[in-house]
Structure 1
Amino acid sequence: MNYTFDQYRQSADALLAKLGDFRPKVALVLGSGLGYLGDLVENPIAVPYTAIPHFKTSTAPGHKGQLVFGTLAGQPVAVMQGRVHHYEGYSYEEVSYAVRVLRLLGCQTLLVTNAAGGVNWNFKAGDLMLITDQIKIFMESPLRGENLPEFGPRFPDASYLYTPKLQDLARQQARRLDLPLREGVYMYFPGPQYETPAEVRMARILGADAVGMSTAPEVITAGHCGMDVLGFTLISNMAAGVLPKKLSEEEVIAAGEAARDRFSALVMACLAHLDAAGEEG
């Protein structure tokens, strides 16, 4: 289906009615095992996806399926505790629907996180990776269909989907916190099955450092809306064929819990210094 601008507006208006004078500036999309950041929001206003017109329900393990509005590290935020995925049966337009709604609410920056399989031989489970670019050859664009000029142009540039000044901010804060931070390219696969060893070898040849089943649609949509984007991947496990073991969703969730302190510290530091990064940019 193609959503109309009026439908996006209806979703935004329903949320505005619950928010009073509060307006978020930063949107966070939290992936598998990483939703705990939403629990750190101060003065939270939680809205289940089921209470928002046209929103879809998140069914993936570890995804609460709600928006949490409030303050995090001094920033007015809208936190998506859980995302929806194409493998759940949703179109890419449905998968990225919330990004446009959050843009209408006033969000200027999108911070995305995911848990993914490591492809780079130098990585190990538990590493944090700054996303510098993405590959998404296995999906239609979420912008397919009639363009909505209220959000952006018909043919948006994708040279800098992940904003360089925010990547610099992440590097600075990782150094300040003395946190090791990998960097690399995230490659999208549709799932829900994990990638085969042959697909992982292909991903490595194509230049990917991590593989996963999310993020790319939201980032494309954010770029079309003119939003700045900062992305982090938790390497929750090594991808198929890298190590002689089977993969499981329990492993992904456990990795998120194990990385909780490091990951939270990095995200909070980036949020706290976001305004300074904008001034420098």
Structure 2
Amino acid sequence: MLEKIQEAVDFIKSKTNLEPDYGVILGTGLGGLVDEILVSDEIDYKDIPHFPLSTVEFHSGKLIFGLLAGKPVVTMKGRFHYYEGYSMKEVTFPIRVMKLLGIKKLFVSNAAGTLNPDYELSDLMILNDHINLLPENPLVGKNIDELGDRFPDMSEPYDRTLIKKALSVAKENSIAAHEGVYVAVSGPNLETPAEYKYLRIIGADAVGMSTVPEVLVARQMEVPVFAISVMTDYGVPGKIEKIQIEKIIAAAMKAEPGMTKIIMELIASD
């Protein structure tokens, strides 16, 4: 694994001179942040040794290097999911690569279904914790000591200072944003009404099919994480309706300017 990570890192360094301080992962319908990046280099996933390829039609497949708010970033335009058939080690491989490229903080976005009756479509939720219901963990198996502890602490999965700053930015800019708990499930099917009810009972405010594996690996490597969800569909009794991907994308795109503003402000002020 370490050799494969290093091969990917060496290839990427041969294609760009930019040394990123921040890593950004863009979720479903949230690729517009790239428009704010002063791009220096783009690398297709298919060209990077050992990199997975996104099989989801609305996920692009590029690593974008450049300046965001004047700071050097590497952005994943398109992520990988367990439901695509990848192992969790494959899903999180890019996070290992970004760490070795030099990132000091990781920013993650995703589209999620709201379980909290106080949330509306296109609201943002800043993650302060998560519940992992995925059937596989990326840290299972022989531990590579160079990449982190065998038993990483998860008492603070999301950086509290960044959460506080983000909520302040949202308030100052009249962005509808909440602080809450994300639960990760495998998908790709959406949940039944009974499952939505169960997820709410166990303490979740939003449900999605990503993010947690990347966060586990980042925290093992002691990379601080900020994560934000866009509410794209309802998992609240009385509001549940048949899912249409077009509506999910539309809800994400409506919220995208606010999410972009928050992430840019956090990076600019860091």
Q: 1-side partners of 2:252 and 2:32: how far apart?
A: 9
1:240 deviates by: 6.7
Report if aligned partners of 1:196, 1:241 keep a CA contact under 8 Å in 2.
no
Deviations 1:132-161 (A, max 9, x none): 111012322101101111110101101111
Q: 1:175 aligns with which of 150, 167, 171?
A: 171
Uncovered stretches (5+) of structure 2, i.e. residues with no partner: none
Aligned partner of 2:232 in structure 1 is 236
Report if aligned partners of 2:122, 2:231 keep a CA contact under 8 Å in 1.
yes
Deviations 1:53-91 (A, max 9, x none): 000111223211111000001111000001010000101
Deviations 1:201-242 (A, max 9, x none): 010000000000000100000000110000100001112745
Q: 1:246 aligns with which of 242, 251, 262?
A: 242
Whether 1:29 aligns to 2:25 is yes
Give the SS at the match of 2:169: helix
Q: 2-side partners of 1:133 and 1:242: how far apart?
A: 26
Aligned partner of 1:92 in structure 2 is 88
Q: 1-side partners of 2:109 and 2:72: how far apart?
A: 18
- Show the 5 A alignment for 1:167-246: 167-239=163-235, 241-246=237-242
Give the SS at the match of 1:122: coil
Q: 1-side partners of 2:236 and 2:44: how far apart?
A: 34
Aligned partner of 2:150 in structure 1 is 154
**What is the one-letter code of the residue matched to 1:260?**
E
Give the SS at the match of 1:234: strand
Deviations 1:98-124 (A, max 9, x none): 000000000010000000000001111
Report if aligned partners of 2:123, 2:230 keep a CA contact under 8 Å in 1.
yes
Aligned partner of 2:46 in structure 1 is 50
Whether 1:11 aligns to 2:20 is no
Q: 2-side partners of 1:55 and 1:173: how far apart?
A: 35
Give the SS at the match of 1:150: helix
Cα pair distance change 1:177/1:244, threshold 3 Å: closer
**Root mean square deviation of aligned Cα:** 1.2
What is the identity percentage for the equivalent residue pairs of Structure 1 and Structure 2? Answer: 40
Q: 2-side partners of 1:6 and 1:39: how far apart?
A: 34
- TM-score of the two chains, using structure 2 as the length reference: 0.97
Report if aligned partners of 2:22, 2:74 keep a CA contact under 8 Å in 1.
yes
Q: 1-side partners of 2:246 and 2:142: how far apart?
A: 40
**What is the one-letter code of the residue matched to 2:2?**
F
Aligned partner of 1:67 in structure 2 is 63
Aligned partner of 2:108 in structure 1 is 112
Report if aligned partners of 1:240, 1:247 keep a CA contact under 8 Å in 2.
no
Q: 1:268 aligns with which of 255, 264, 268?
A: 264
Aligned partner of 1:164 in structure 2 is 160
Q: 1:79 aligns with which of 70, 75, 82?
A: 75
